[in-house]
């Protein structure tokens, strides 16, 4: 079984968020463009949320504390 390195795990989410932010919009028009952009915004939000988490192990469970302000 692979060893879980939480700092590396959270860094991967930060890298994914940055990749979403950096990627361009493909040549889409109309509704397809809107759907693509909305999906990218959700991806960025999700990845950024996890990347900002502080973590701890409590009672043999991984706890992610995600700041909701800032």
pTM of whole model > 0.95? no
> Is residue 49 one of the residues assigned to a domain?
yes
- Please state the domain count of the chain: 1
Q: How far apart are CA 19 and CA 13, in angstroms?
A: 10
Has residue 46 been placed in a domain? yes
Query: Does 58 fall in a domain?
Result: yes
Residue 70 placed within a domain: no
Range of the domain at 35: 6-23+30-65
Give helix 6-22 / helix 30-51 axis angle, nearest 10°.
Answer: 150
Whether residue 17 lies inside any domain: the answer is yes
Question: What is the tens place of the pLDDT at every residue in 7-64?
Answer: 999 999 999 999 999 999 999 999 999 999 999 999 999 999 999 999 999 999 999 9
Does residue 1 lie in a domain region? no
């Amino acid at each position: 079984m692979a060893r879980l390195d939480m700092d590396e795990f959270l860094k991967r989410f930060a890298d994914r968020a940055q990749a979403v932010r950096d990627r361009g919009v493909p040549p889409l028009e109309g509704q397809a463009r809107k759907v693509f952009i909305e999906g990218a915004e959700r991806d960025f939000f999700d990845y950024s949320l996890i990347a900002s988490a502080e973590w701890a192990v409590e009672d043999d469970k991984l706890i992610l504390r995600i700041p909701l302000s800032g």
